[in-house]
Structure 1
């Protein structure tokens, strides 16, 4: 059995790594042509619909994890961008990684990837404007976070390749962990047990998975191969996606960083909003998945 598990792990890890490098290189090359200055002007514009669209586009073309989003958030606040637009970007940036969404489409199916993208965009916009309407801008501290440097983007194949390799080095451990856990589940955990314990009747797993996802800080790169195996064995799609969205949308390290720029009430509301987004999205996947 362990020989089979080792062979499956090798091919799965090779497939994921190859896909990640190809997709990531293409994304980094395309980023060289993106007019970031124009997007920033859209973000600061008076038309809120256009500004929200700009925030989503900016989130999509700047694939950050939840922690590395924070310096850019501080920079946006320093530029006096509308609070609701900044919050839309904060919600959307970690969950709208184009490389991971493409991997999701290849591994879990394009229907899942499309629904995931639509739901995360919708909830990011609604939650961002809702927090602004509640007047929570006053809960932002007057701080400056050092270390953020804006870079001029030019088309360079070598730069795109170097960025791809750098990203791959940071993500590879999560891909390997996810592949390892996935193949162990595939080979060692009984299908019947997963299907009966975590199947369609276990609706309560959706909110539980959303809450668990926050402190675990499971990268989407790890969750995709694990999710593929769990779904193949009969686990409901809802709790899997709730765990994905919650772990990507917020994390314990990010919450600590947010505490340096947000007051406690806004940090709590942000975390609660991510859990709500993950739970509601999970239930939608649970019903239609």
Structure 2
């Protein structure tokens, strides 16, 4: 299954989209909330049910001990976001000041996420937040670049408006350069289009010279629930947002399989220190929203 990282030029529904994709997947799925500016799902969708004792920040100390310890901590800090426990969240930072501590943790976390996707058959989504640049390159602290390098797809989230396209335009070339130099190629870059605005997907793709790999409808009621939590709206499971998100996850899986064949990639050898993470994931301690 693919690892898909979502990024944006500015807040434009990236987190709600990542949640929709995770919840709509037909397969076990995981959302890693890795925005260095801080996570919002804990206080929003989960309405404070998850304390600061869970989450991304705690992986930094474990990684400094070793791979096995990181795998154990990763499994321990997941939180179920559906009744059956098939969809899980790694809650994000509670304070942006914590971000520098994770600089050396990102590569190891990227490896864990690849294990979940390749060996455990999870759809893995990474909310990498708003991209920050420094001298035309991805900022080394304010962007989790190693997670983008390891992803099968990097989706730049945009709305179909002039404002959103203008903000996104300056990120395309730095992202292409980053993926060509440090990952498997800039063809991993695509757009996630939020259909809020006058432009059609073909027009957006042409404007940014980047393919639209997934599109989600402007469904304010469902997106509001995913953003602030509370009582699910009537017909939530059949809402336009979740139906289109389900189709998007299927499309991304098919694209990932074709791209893997094109790259002639064989299955990577699993780090023996991480092999146990699969069992730990099944038995992970943590609550469940329901």
TM-score (norm 1): 0.25
Higher strand share: 2
Higher helix share: 1
Please tell me whether Structure 1 or Structure 2 has the larger radius of gyration of its CA atoms.
1
Q: Larger RCO: Structure 1 or Structure 2 (Cα < 8 Å, ≥ 6 residues apart)?
A: 2
